[in-house]
Structure formats: structure tokens, C-alpha cells
Structure 1
């Protein structure tokens, strides 16, 4: 795929760019990404990788455009590519991984638009840091459903166990520069969530009755906010973020699943399969970036605090994310990045009385925990190639540690991409 992308770029008169991208990507995959990714990831038809590379090819062959990513918005820098091709509209664009948000600002009176797709795969059930089999969950973990037996009321086991889940998030971000140091932004999203489950027969035992899958899809929550660059010198920049998440995504989606009695039942989807939180959430953050010569690095903190319960009677736990990264520009416009990210989230508080049943995801106590990801990627600035307002990036990574309030599905791998334009 990288070679095909290179050919596409070369056909548009950007041979040097295609060679640089191909060389840097191959080196990055061999040295950083491939050792941490499951072998099957590189051989299955991964829509994330195909989409990202297609977007990258399109970006260079369309009009010259500058990026201000929805997910990477810092501000600072004048490394080798900025020096060779100055662009006054970039407002000192920082080299950042595709999955980092809120670190760049745009200049006064300028708009910036970006598209940021994210693909995440989840598999294996965890209790704490240990994996547990579906059979163990189905025979030892009591549900919230009570049935009457010969000995009185007893708790039924979770007889429907999820095995994998895939999440696609397509985010669209618009920014406006009120001043060189203060920007307003709005972000909309479209989500698709798919889950595979196995169902065990009856109320006990390890006999597998069958499997089923369910999908929810639609508009997600909307975020409005601001970015304020509070400090900047020739090497460092500090940006404060303050956002508010609006509950535009549905929290009342329904799905069908195979019951232990061998019937398909339609019920409200589990909390994790809903498209929105249903709450207004405060989203503060802080980004610090720096660079020297060909090297760049930074750190960022992001959080999400629900301001109350939603109309269904619950709210997600507080979320805090901390990430740090480093980058090296081996050639003008091409920066290889490596990043470590940790996410910590509390359990769901409250509950939706319509979300119940014999599947673990219906229990609000089985949400939250912490996980750490290691990611590698490439950032491409268009300035050195005659596309001064263009910026693209992608990264892939794998979860290396996790400790979850389980049983719940664990994180496996994540893919982030970015394409932005300024006008």
C-alpha cells in the first residue's frame, strides 16, 4: 500500500515526497510498529490503513492546504521544513502525532478544517490485568438478573459474552482564529460500533448455543470549545484547552442478540454500544510542545468531566488522559513520531433501567479502568513540496498494559489518521 501511495504521489510531480514517505514509513513500521502489533493486523483487510493512505494520496494531489487538526492542534516550531518553505498562515505549526488533540492554533481571521478518523479494536475479556475466558464468565460471574429456584432467589450468570468489538469514529473539526493566540473550535463526529458475542445454552454449563453480532451507527456527541496559547518562544509553546461536549449522540440505541433460550431478543444496547453519553461534559486540557533542530517533543493532558446524570439516569466516570511523544524529521516535511499514552476512567455512576440482561456490558460497574498504549506514526507537512497549507498524519499502536473494572473487553490496537486544510 505504501508503494502504491508513492506511485500516486509521483504521478502528481512529487517524486521526492513519495520517496521520503515510503522510506520513513517502512523504517518506522520495521523498527517501532511491527514488533508491538499482532501479526494478523498486517494481513487482514484493515479499512483503517487503506482509508488513511487513500486520504494521504488525495491530500497531495488536491489543492494546497494547511492542517489544523481536530486531534492535533498545538502551536510552535520552525524546523527544517518551515525554514525551507515559510508559511505565515501556519502560525508556527508543531509536529504532532495524529492522535494528539488541541496543540496547534491558526492565525487571526483564518479558518482551519480537519478530518480525523480513528479505528479501535477490542478483544479478550479482562478482570483487572488478567484475561478471563468466556466459559469462566458464563459460569462464575453473577448478573443483576434474579431468578427463583428451589432454594429461593438466585442470581443468573452472564450467559452472553462479548468476544470482540470494533469502533470507528469519524471526526470533523472547524477552527477559527480570533487572534493569533486564541481560537474557537467546533467538532462533530459520526460513529460506528460493532460487537460479536457468543451465547451459552440455558442457565448453566459451558455448552455454546451460538453467536450473534450487533451494530450501532450514527451521529456522536458534538464538542465546542476554545484554544488559548498562553506562552510561546523560539522553542516552546503552551496551549490551554477548554471544551464542552453536547449530548447530540443517541443514548437509547437498541440491538438484537441471541438469548440462552435460543431466541433473538431486541433490547436496549449496552452502555458501551451507545453513540453518545447523554450528558454535558466539561473538557479541559493542556498541551506543551517544543523542538530543537530536527527533533520535536511534547506532552498533553486531556480530561472529560460529566456535569450531571443524563435523562436515562447515569453518567460516565471522569476521564483523564496523559500522553507524551517525540519526533524526528529525517527529511524536510517528514517527521517520524513515537508516543506513549495512558487513559484512566472511573466506573459509570447510576444506571439506565432499560439496560439489563445476561450480558456483562449491561452492568455499569464493569466500565472504566486504565490502559497504556504505545504508538508509532508519521506526520507530513506539505510546505516543502509546494503545498504550504497542507498537513497529514497517521499512527498505529497497541495497548501494552491495562487494568480494567471487569469483566469487560480489553483494548487491542488503535489507528489514527489526519488530513487538514486552512483557508
Structure 2
């Protein structure tokens, strides 16, 4: 285990230079008025809360967000399953289980309403499904026992208020936001694990990454900037997730910071493509659920939950400026990690994606 996570920002140097050059080209073409009827008027679909609406306007949307994790990292070094459940005396970590891979998918319904030109309110309701494959270490000559764990249900509902700082029609928009994550997601999920006599399945509380929520009311302050040129658009966003208090099971998830920047090009008013950089850092768990043994698995260890990751995202936005589908948007974005350092052993992220639909009226 390690306490300090060195920054992975060095991995951003070349992509940041590219984004800077592209943004400079866009700024050189900047105009005075915001143009909303074009595909790149919204950020890549993986960015939440990037825009506000005019007074009286509604928007409804749906996002599907899958993610796949496979393999274990401690810092940026790969860790084998054998090392994970080998004894500390033998140079291992001494856990009973070793995670192999995990698939998560989130279905997000979102609703936005603008009571004034300055203020927009937003609610996001997630439904989460998770599936983790693990191995139970069998002592002696017996091979490891593979098993799967599953959980699904409503996650933590998010309520946000966004304030437009800049003039309504400006081609440069600055937006301040404050969100509240409500602990509607379960933190007491169980599934069968082969920990009974002779490997018999026993219903046990699932590990921290398999729970559906944080169990606490979390504040999410943020700041977003977006700009437009004749063909180019660009933006950046920073959002913090600040946990408040301790949940009913005796622990608090680590705080989180998400930073991202993007550049997009509109090929036509109906189609745009984007390049995005995203950086996230999150802390370890403070406290412990007494029904989750920290020696069972690294996913059950409060000290093995923190980390940081840098992703590159490639996206496409589609928009219908006229006709029967006028006002409908469709976005697709795929994100691939370029660097990650994890307090581990911890499952590393292989890829994630976002597919979304939005309709304003």
C-alpha cells in the first residue's frame, strides 16, 4: 500500500498541447452570439451540467454508461491474483479473494428546467447494474474457486442548480453549479459467496465497489466554461464531490475531484466530433463497515479504494436542427485511460463509454 499518489498530469502534456492549438484556432474564429442550434452547442455527452436553458425551457434525456475493469494495479504496477492472496510472509497481500474483472452499467434519466434565463435546475436519477468476478484462494493443492457477485438498483439521486454568470447570448458561457447527491442508493447489498463449509454459498454483504450509493449527502460544487467559434467549440469543467458525515454503516467514501477539457468541430450543424481529456482523483474510505472484513478482498479494504486516472475521450454529437426530430440530440463518447495510479491492489479501468439522447422543448 502507499499513502501518496504522485500526479499523473505528465501524461497530459502532448494531448494538452494539441487541445491548446485547436482551442486557439477556434478562438481566432470566435463570434459574439451563442448558437444553440448546432451539434457542438452541447459538450461531449460524457460531460454533465455543461449548459443552461432559456426561461421556461425544459430538457429531458437518457444516458447509458457502461464501464469494464480488468486486472489489478498497486500504484501503476500490475499485481497478479496469486500475489493478492499469497501471505504477506511470502511477499503477497494476504487477502482471501482476488477480484478478476468487473462490469458496471448506469442508466441515467435527467430532467432540466429553467425558471429564468440565469437559473437552470436539474435532476438525475440513476439505475446501476454491477457484476464482479473473483477467485477464492483455496489452501493446499486445491485450485482457486471462481465466483460471481451481482448487485443492481437505484443509485444516488442528484439535484443541481446552475447559474449563468455571463450574458445570456454570449458566445462565451461561464456557469457555476451546486449539486446535492441524495443517498437513495443501497449500501447494504448482499450476494452469495463460497465462504461456507466446504465452499458452500453464504449470503454476505458485498464489497464497497458493489454497493449502489455512498450512504451520505454529498455536495457537488462546480464551475464550467464553454466557448464557440464559427466551426469550433471548446470548454472546461471542474467538479468536486464532498462527502458530509458518516453513513449508517460507519464509513465515509473518499472525496473526489473531476477535471475535464474538450474541443469540438462542427462538420455541419447536424454533426460534430470531439476530443476530450478527463482527470479524476478520489480518496480512500474513512471508517469501515463492520460487516465487510477488510482481509476478505482488496475490494473490501478501506485502504485500497483511492486513486487517480487520466482518460482520453473521442465523441460524436448529432443534432436535428429542423424537421420532425427538431431539438433532438444524440451523443456517443468512448473514453480510454492513458494513465492510472491506484491504492491497491485495485481493479484498473480498461474502458468506459457514454451513449445519450436529449430533447429540449
Corresponding residue for residue 121 of structure 1: 68
- Which residue is equivalent to 1:112? 59
Question: Aligned runs of 1:91-170 on 2, under 5 Å?
Answer: 94-140=41-87, 157-170=94-107
> How far apart are 1:103 and its partner, in Å?
1.1
1:104 Cα shift?
1.1
Q: 1:145 maps to what in 2?
A: none
**Secondary structure of 1:354's partner?**
coil
Aligned to 1:59: none
Report how far residue 156 of structure 1 moved: 8.9
SS of 1:158 mapped into structure 2: coil
1:370 corresponding residue in structure 2: 308
Deviations 1:37-85 (A, max 9, x none): xxxxxxxxxxxxxxxxxxxxxxxxxxxxxxxxxxxxxxx8327x54xxx
Q: State the shift of 1:93 in Å.
A: 7.8
Residues 95 and 158 of structure 1: CA distance in aligned 2, closer, same or farther (over 3 Å):
same
Give the corresponding residue for 1:220.
Answer: 155
Distance apart, 1:385 and its partner CA = 5.4
Q: Structure 2 stretches of 5 or more lacking a match? A: 1-14, 16-32
After alignment, is 185-194 or 385-394 more displaced? Answer: 385-394
SS class of match (2:86): helix
Deviation at 1:250, TM superposition (A): 0.4
Question: In the TM superposition, what is the alpha-carbon distance from 1:386 to its structure 2 partner?
Answer: 5.5
Give the superposition deviation at 1:107: 1.6
Q: 2:126·2:156 contact (CA, 8 Å) conserved in 1? A: yes
Match of 1:361 in 2: 299
How far 1:183 sits from its partner (Å)?
A: 1.0
Q: Does 1:190 align with 2:147?
A: no
Match of 1:72 in 2: none
Counterpart for residue 182 of structure 2: 246
Give the SS at the match of 1:322: strand
Shift of 1:387: 3.1
CA distance in 1, matches of 2:352, 2:85: 28
More helix by share: 1
- Given the alignment of the two structures, is residue 289 of structure 1 paired with residue 226 of structure 2, yes or no? yes
Give the structure-1-normalised TM-score.
0.73
Q: 1:255 to 1:141 in 2, by over 3 A?
A: farther
TM-score normalised by structure 2 residue count: 0.85
Q: Distance in 2 between the 1:141 and 1:326 partners?
A: 47
d(CA) in 2 for partners of 1:263, 1:302:
45
Distance 1:354 1:207 in 2: 28
State the Cα distance separating 1:235 from its structure 2 match: 2.5
Identify the residue that residue 387 of structure 1 maps to in structure 2: 325
Secondary structure of residue in 2 paired with 1:308? coil
Superposition RMSD on alpha carbons, in Å? Answer: 2.2
1:412 aligns with 2:350: yes
Number of aligned residue pairs: give it.
Answer: 325
